[in-house]
Structure 1
């Protein structure tokens, strides 16, 4: 067995979970004496239609994007940060996450009509899931994040063709490249809607690559990212640090406000680093250490280090969604463009923050403003990443003719 397959096998063992597949068939609402919550979302996808109402879309690539309205019911008495998958089908809305309505949307005008009916202060959240995700898994995860965060925004899911197999890492990565123009167009269409005042883009894991590539494309075409895209949140970004630096530079100015969630104990990113040439991933850096701290600070990027945060996630790869404090931070502060320098911020026991290059206690948490990606220096990850001279910056690697304005 190759080292790469061994690493993927280890990831499979660590991430093993079981829940029924095919939960997209709508069920009847619960009895009147059961109080549930509901999240309505718009779902754009480059996945191929499955032809089965229980799954809607599979992991193959479609040449034509699809748009669907989905309503998800969340059960009462649930623990924040968790998704209550049914133990058997059909789901029971009294105890499980359950789909209660699905409607295909055929035109942009229909999509805008839906958004106008569900407008929430004019704020839109566009979520892009990560590696190894089924359509239904990304739907339920976004519903959980929206509900638990208490955010005042209209949720939009962009789900790309993932085969939801640990061994399909390369297929999934190419699927993000396949989908970057579709995501760019979705963001443009959303920004052109007069009912939309501002947009937050939130991406996880491999989905952060897709988000950065689409924003970079937009910046290259127009000279800058659309002005309605105010905030970009990258959770456990599975991106080569040097590549992130170029993506950031090439999207032009002005840029949205960036926040990244990192964790040095992220096992999924450790495997990703191993199989992609032992190059450090952005989501695994220690932003309180140099060279990251001083250099990303110049860009005004805030990094929140979740290394000490304990969740039920055995991979430490989905902490941003499973921590009640973190999802509330996203919904109540980051989406509003607020900083983390307020003493009212409390993110949980043991988390430290570094804001503006200075380590500061903020309640029980620390947030970190890290270095400017244009001068970011790659450094070893747990002694495994390929070394790079400490006095060489990415600015030295970027040639003027390579920067498309």
Structure 2
């Protein structure tokens, strides 16, 4: 099994090298464009069509990048349509339209101001282990496009050699990049055109994101108030270490949302490498001690274990599932609560969560059979209040009302 996981992690061959070579604006009916900032601590590559290598650079380099996305009619939501050959075909494939260096903070501020939408929100994405520069940029462009969210997109890409055999190098590269990510977040937060920030990170990138926020909290006494939400997808984090990191954020941390999946094969390998300590991205939020700890911390968990995806490792479900990318755009970036009705699990009961399962009686079986399980302490508190109100109005007990609601949902 371990060898199969290694082979799956290592494989992404067949793609042409040099997709970051800009081709300019080309007419393609139905194609759309994503304008984003790409910030990196990677070293520049000798080949300008590659742009940045997997080695460590000096300082923070920032580019404004425009990616063309083929028409929705010819692509599946959640997929990156990689070019089969170069130059790419914008009618069917992702295409790099332009790359413009932002050499000074003033240029970065001008770009942010020019691209700020009505929400004045910025989404900062940190990629995971085993990613090339172009993979991070194209995947983020896909997430932004498919989620249809009103944000200014910023991707932070750190030095990954994109090899399963360089796990330790990549891990040290996240440590190498902590100061730069903290600097980037501070720059964005200091911009008057920015109202609020969501930080989203995947896999090993979650370590980098949480560490940068921890540094900020220690340095400034708090995480910048503009950083409202933190989304960790398949977090490759030791659960014990994350507990210590979270405590460093103080009494008013950003709201955290976790995407977890117990069948994540990449995290299974990471757990073996890391002393067999459970990874945060594989926890079962419905069981103790996690259930009580998550509720106390106010952390939302979306369990994707039952969700099917085209990812053999089950490590990238958050980006490949249409339901999940819609949730990211519609709810999570705005810091709103997430209920079963948001993902189409039933309109009659809009507040069933993992945390409330033991309270709502037979409704629990309905939730457990759903493809996405939700644990949101805020939703649970509201739901418990609704049940109590129903109980008092009906003159019955809380348990009897729970059974009544549960039976209704089960029909």
Class of the TM-score when normalised by the shorter of the 2 chains = 0.7 to 0.9
Alignment partner of 1:70 is 2:65: yes
State yes or no: 1:41 paired with 2:39: no
> Secondary structure of 2:7's match?
helix
Uncovered stretches (5+) of structure 1, i.e. residues with no partner:
1-5, 371-405
Residue aligning to 1:12: 6
Structure 1 residue 108 corresponds to structure 2 residue 115: no
- Counterpart check, 1:367 vs 2:367: no
- Alpha-carbon distance in 1 for matches of 2:25, 2:60: 30
The correspondence for 1:220, drawn from 218, 236, 246, is: 218
CA contact (8 A) 2:22 2:98 kept: yes
| Number of residue pairs the alignment of both structures matches | 361
1:89 Cα deviation from its structure 2 partner: 1.2
Quick one: distance in 1 between partners of 2:331 and 2:114?
25
Post-superposition shift, 1:365? 4.0
Structure number with greater Rg is: 2
- Structure 2 counterpart of 1:161: 159
Give how far 1:347 is off.
Answer: 6.8
CA distance in 2, matches of 1:71, 1:353: 39
Alignment of 1:4-403 (within 5 A): 7=2, 9-15=3-9, 16-18=11-13, 19-31=15-27, 34-76=29-71, 77=73, 78-120=75-117, 121-341=119-339, 343-346=341-344, 355=353, 357-359=355-357, 365-369=372-376
Q: CA deviation at 1:346?
A: 2.4
How far is 1:250 from its partner? 1.0
Q: Distance in 2 between matches of 1:344 and 1:39?
A: 26
Residues 249-258 or 165-174, more deviating: 249-258
1:347-382 CA-to-partner distances (Å, cap 9, x unmatched) read: 79xxx9964821366787431147xxxxxxxxxxxx
State the 1:107 CA deviation: 0.2
Q: Cα 1:297–1:166, aligned 2, differ >3 Å: closer, same or farther?
A: same
In 1, the alpha carbon distance for the partners of 2:102 and 2:26 equals 26
Deviations 1:53-108 (A, max 9, x none): 21110011112110001000001121100000011111111110000000011100
Q: Is the 8 A contact 2:182 2:215 kept in 1?
A: yes
CA contact (8 A) 2:323 2:343 kept: no
TM-score, length basis structure 2: 0.84
Moved more, 128-137 or 215-224: 215-224
Task: Report the CA distance shift for 1:353/1:56 in structure 2 as closer, same or farther (over 3 A).
Answer: farther
Larger helix fraction of residues:
2
Which deviates further from its counterpart, 224-233 or 293-302?
Answer: 293-302
Uncovered stretches (5+) of structure 2, i.e. residues with no partner: 358-363, 378-411
For the aligned residue pairs, the C-alpha RMSD in angstroms reads: 2.0
What SS is found at the alignment partner of 1:30? Answer: coil
| In structure 2, distance between residues paired with 1:57 and 1:149 | 27
Q: TM-score, normalised by structure 1?
A: 0.85
Distance in 2, Cα, partners of 1:317 & 1:364: 16
